Structure 1
Amino acid sequence: MYDQTRAQQPADRPPGVSGSRATGPEPLLPSDERDKIVRRLGHALNTFADAPDKALEEAETAFDEATAALMHALADRRSALRTGWQDRDPETQSAELRIALREYREITGRLLRA
């Protein structure tokens, strides 16, 4: 039997999933930066048969770009977190400090699961 609702859903989304995304952690890299790196890596994979050496160089460049972008993003995130709790009045609410600790735990956990 033809299911019109299922047929109208994009192919990249499983049936039964609504248009809204589940809330989760913010991506470490902006989508345009991620997309650029993914395209470069995809190009390397697609050209490997014709030019293996060039493909490997391009893959290495994509890896280096991803590493540098990630390091930059993590340094920015660390700076923002530190600014939120460092040099505060000794009377800083423990709730504010708990939030900062939770954010450190979340980002560190994401790195360890990657």
Structure 2
Amino acid sequence: MTETTEVRVPQQARSRRTPDPSRTWRLRPRGLVTHEVRERWTEAQGEFVDDPPRSVREADALADEVADALIAEIEARRASLRSVWNDTEADTEALRLVLRDYRSFVKQMVGDD
């Protein structure tokens, strides 16, 4: 049986570290409020019994809005990552950090976060 040892990082060292990118950016529909999207979905679903075609049209319209908002968020994140290295001569540390952020971004896109 292997015993694990907890490594403690001093508070001062923790505060200098950059935040974990998987905690600072999450894929969310840009410009949409989650609870409002859920409410709209519930309304569309609830209309199915009385008017199935209308219910499905509303679900499709909502799905279209959410997809567009997700694409907008993805594009904004890519632009943000690109701005770190594209327009300037970034040092090796900045490039290492942006590569780490790209890794987190790609992992989220493929559902491996």
Q: TM over 0.5: same fold?
A: yes
**Structure 1 stretches (4+) deviating beyond 4 angstroms?**
none
Cα separation, 2, equivalents of 1:28 and 1:36 = 17
1:1-114 to structure 2, matched below 5 A, reads 24-29=23-28, 32-89=32-89, 92-113=90-111
- Structure 2 CA distance for partners of 1:26 and 1:42, relative to 1, 3 Å: farther
Q: Distance in 1 between matches of 2:74 and 2:31?
A: 16
Instruction: Return the alpha-carbon distance in structure 2 between the equivalents of residues 55 and 38 of structure 1.
Output: 14
- Which structure 2 segments of 5+ residues have no match? 1-21
**1: CA distance between counterparts of 2:50 and 2:35?**
24
Relative contact order (C-alpha < 8 Å, sep 6+): which is higher?
2
User: What is the deviation of 1:58?
Assistant: 0.7
Output the CA distance in 1 between the equivalents of 2:63 and 2:76. 20
Equivalent residues of 1:37, 1:65 under 8 A apart? no
Superposed displacement of residue 24, structure 1: 3.0
Between the aligned partners of 1:27 and 1:36, the Cα distance in structure 2 is: 19
Q: TM-score, normalised by structure 1?
A: 0.68
Aligned residue pair count? 90
